[in-house]
Amino acid sequence: MKKVIRFAGFKDVTNPEMDGKAMSFPFSVLDCSLIGSPEEESSASSHRLIVSISGTRLAVWGLTGDDLPKVLFEYGRRHIAGMVEKDTLPDNFTIRMPIITRDTHPGPCPLELSRLGMPDHTEVIVEVRRQIGFK
């Protein structure tokens, strides 16, 4: 079975006391077989993903302006796609990705910033791998 993940923009949700940055990426997930059907809108599950980066990692990677949401979105997109693929996406509206720190992501930013896009109206199609037996 294939599912489509639809992302729609982003919002800075950084807590004033946080040493770093946090961004929210709203998204929905829908079974591809329902695209174009009368059940499409009512069958989609809506969520928001919170992706955070520590102040130290932010400084070392030198992310500013539009580069920050692009990088956080890319990590978040991969995180959500992996959960959908493994059929482990929780029902919660808010999903928090583990914070990006020097322990979790050592070294310079491994992403080519020029190849990253903004999260506006991004769609990702994922093949869901169902496990047979008990989870």
Tell me how far apart the alpha carbons of residues 44 and 50 are, in angstroms, rounded to a whole number.
19
Contact partners, residue 129, CB within 8 Å, separation at least 6: 85, 86, 87
Q: pLDDT at position 40, please?
A: 86
Helix (H, G, I), strand (E, B) or coil at 1: coil
Q: What is the pLDDT of residues 39-96, one digit of tens each?
A: 888 889 999 999 999 999 999 999 988 999 999 999 999 999 999 999 999 999 999 9
Contact partners, residue 19, CB within 8 Å, separation at least 6: 54, 55, 56
Q: What is the pLDDT of residues 4-28, one digit of tens each?
A: 999 999 999 999 999 999 999 999 9
User: Which two three-digit tokens encode residue 83?
Assistant: 């959960």
Distances (CA, A) of 52 to 16, 20, 36: 13, 7, 34
Q: pLDDT at position 134, please?
A: 62
What global pTM score does this model have?
0.90
The separation between CA 130 and the C-alpha centre of its own chain, rounded to angstroms, equals: 21
Q: pLDDT at position 64, please?
A: 85
User: Which two three-digit tokens encode residue 110?
Assistant: 């491994």
* Domain boundary assignment for the chain: 2-127
Q: pLDDT at position 47, please?
A: 96
Helix (H, G, I), strand (E, B) or coil at 122: strand
Phi, psi of 85, deg, nearest 5: -60, -40
